[in-house]
Amino acid sequence: MTDTASPAAHAPDGDELAALDRRHLLHPWTPMAGADPLVLVSGEGCEITDSYGRTYLDGRSGQFNATLGYRHPKILAALGEQAGKLMTYALLGASNEAAVRLAARLAQLLGEPLSHTLFCNSGSEAAEAAIRIVRMHHALRGEPGRSTVISLADGYHGTTLATAAMSASPLAWTGCGPRPEGFVQIAGPHGSGSGAADLERAVLAAGPESVAAFFVEPVLGVGGIRPLPPGYLREVREICDRYGILLVVDEVTTGLGRTGAWFAHQREGIRPDLVTLAKGLTAGYVPLAAVTTTTAVAEVFAGDPMLGGLRHGHTTSGHALGAAVALAVLRTIEEDGLVEHADAMGRLLLGGLTDRLKDLDGVRDVRGEGLLAGIEFDTFERAAQVAGGCLARGVVVRSEGPVLAVAPPLIVTADQVDRIVDALHASAAA
């Protein structure tokens, strides 16, 4: 943590903002008692500055979404240019240029047969839309009984009622019931030894004719930064094909360069039926999410007797400002070679964390893929202690129970990776 040389003439009052925060702001997924959270006022590159003028290296990319860092000139230029032309125009019976071009670009990146995109506002909304799409798809094909959605018990797909029902976490449902019906969770493949066989058993137990889709993250995020074992996605693709089930891959966190590939599922050489995207799609500059599906799935909606199209969407679906920013993000990732850079920096990050932390007391595991790494400690308290130590050393990481998540922006430098590793080592060794 470093102090800026001198406060600006109109620098914010840190104490005032902290008091207002406590009095009026309801934070998601944050205990209301305890230390005041950081109140951030600016950022530059991979660094962020709080209301007291202290600067930190952002080792978590905000909420994994600030993938190009802060005040990126190419993204700011695209934002201003689109705002000066057309900030939005709803896609209900109309369209706008930015949304059209973004949908076409995503089809190029994802590859055939993934070709049709519905835009949403958040990862939760994209997963919610995917649930509705797979159920309506089967109903329109004459199989309305196919409504069951299977997912991993330690997976995470959002906080809306249906997406929360795909997780077994008590945090999602205690005091919030009743839970929607039609959702089944299975054990993850980590350490169970059964791998994809658990999926087939769940399909047979439910009755194959009742199962609509299987949702899965290539790297479990909230579930502990756990990459799926090699071959797992290929196995579940085969099972889904065998029983006529749609495979939905949640790339909200892992997509668009985060794992050192454009999309994490591409490393396995599979084609999902649907892919959900958010976070890195606009690099955090504006809210935007997407669910892209195959031509075969999309074309079924033309036969809907009630509408002749997809009965789902939002006022801001395909928001022109968001779509223009997303196009600029995709251009920047490509032009600056950030997928390859993320792969190289990810190897440096994971190698450094493994070499320097794996043998420390309290460290159970170091794992990850690309610029998405997790350090698992023996207790929640130990993880929180290390996160606090990193903060005191000027590096922000994310705490997920006993796991610390490290996910700096794709533009991170080798020196900054070293700073993150140094801070974690010093904090864990203290």
Give the DSSP per-residue string, 98-131. Answer: HHHHHHHHHHHHH-TTEEEEEEESSHHHHHHHHH
H or E element: which one contains 151?
Answer: strand 148-152
Whether residues 307 and 404 share a domain: the answer is: no
pTM value?
Answer: 0.95
Name the stretches of the chain with pLDDT < 50: 3-9
Q: Residue 68 contacts by C-beta under 8 Å, 6 or more apart in sequence?
A: 75, 283, 329, 332, 333, 338, 409, 410, 411
Q: Residue 164 contacts by C-beta under 8 Å, 6 or more apart in sequence?
A: 158, 172, 173, 176
Query: Hey, which residues does 43 pair with through a beta bridge?
Result: 48
pLDDT of residue 3: 47
User: pLDDT by residue (tens digit) across 173-205?
Assistant: 888 889 999 999 999 898 655 689 999 999 999
Whether residues 138 and 257 share a domain: the answer is: yes
Residue burial 60-89, b: 16+ Cβ < 10 Å; e: rest: bbbebbbbbbbebeebeebbeebeeeeebe
Whether residues 138 and 280 share a domain: the answer is: yes
pLDDT of residue 10: 61
Q: Which domain holds residue 209?
A: 76-335
- The CATH code of the domain that includes 121 is 3.40.640.10
pLDDT of residue 175: 87
pLDDT of residue 193: 57
Residue listed under structure tokens 């089809």: 107
pLDDT of residue 4: 41
Whether residues 164 and 243 share a domain: the answer is: yes
H or E element: which one contains 353?
Answer: helix 338-357
What gap in Å lies between CA 119 and CA 292, rounded to an integer? 9
pLDDT of residue 7: 42
Q: Residue 32 contacts by C-beta under 8 Å, 6 or more apart in sequence?
A: none
pLDDT of residue 191: 64
Q: Of the candidates 281, 311, 335, which is a domain's last residue? A: 335
pLDDT of residue 349: 98
Q: How many domains would you assign to the chain?
A: 2
pLDDT of residue 170: 85
pLDDT of residue 8: 45
